Amino acid sequence: MGYAIYGTGLGLAGYDVIDTCRQEGCLVVIDRGLDHLCGDQPERPSESDCGRWFCEKHLYGDWPRSRCRACLEVAEREQVRVGPVDVRSHHPRRCHRTGL
C-alpha cells in the first residue's frame, strides 16, 4: 500500500491529492503528503500539532516534528507547563466540518 491517496476523517490525503496551504490568506498550491503536514498524523490534532497541510513558507522544522507557525508558537510558549498542550484552541483556521 502506498501513500499517494488515502482516506482520513476529513477527506483524502497523500502526495497525489492537490490542495492549498491552510495558512489564512495563502493560496500556494501544495499536495497533502507528509512533507507538508503539521505533525505526523493527517487531520488528527494532538497536543503539539494540528494535523493540517501547509506550504514550505508556513511550515517549520523537519517531519515528523514539523509545525505550522501557530502550533510552533504554542509549543514554545507552553514548554514550561506541566501536562499536555492543546494547540487546537490556538490555531487561527478551524475546519468547518469538525470545528477543529
In the chain (100 residues long), the average pLDDT of successive 10-residue segments reads: 81 93 95 90 78 92 82 78 48 44
Per-residue pLDDT at 45: 74
- Per the omega criterion (within 30 degrees of 0), is the bond before 45 cis? no
One-letter amino acid at 27 equals L
Per-residue pLDDT at 99: 44
Per-residue pLDDT at 89: 53
Alpha-carbon gap, residue 21 to 52, rounded angstroms:
9
φ and ψ at residue 56, rounded to 5 degrees: -60, -30
Per-residue pLDDT at 57: 94
Cβ 39 vs Cβ 48: under 8 Å: yes
Query: What is the residue whose three cell numbers read 490542495?
Result: 19
